[in-house]
Amino acid sequence: MKSLNLTSQRQAVYDIVLNSHDHPTAAEVMNRLVEQGHSLAYGTVYNSLRYLSDKQMIRELKLGEAASRYDARMDDHQHIICEVCGAVDEVMNQVPREWMNTVAKDTGYTIGHAHVVFGGVCPNCKNKKNN
Q: Which of 62, 66, 70 is nearest to 46 (CA)?
A: 70
d(CA 78, CA 126): 21
Residue 10 marked ligand-binding: no
Residue 85 marked ligand-binding: yes
Residue 122 marked ligand-binding: yes
**Ramachandran category for residue 130: left, alpha or beta (phi over 0 → left; psi -120 to 50 → alpha):** alpha
Residue 77 marked ligand-binding: no
Q: Which residues pair with 120 in a beta bridge?
A: 82
Q: Can you say which residues are annotated as belonging to the binding site?
A: 82, 85, 122, 125
Q: Can you say which residues are annotated as belonging to the binding site for Zn(2+)?
A: 82, 85, 122, 125
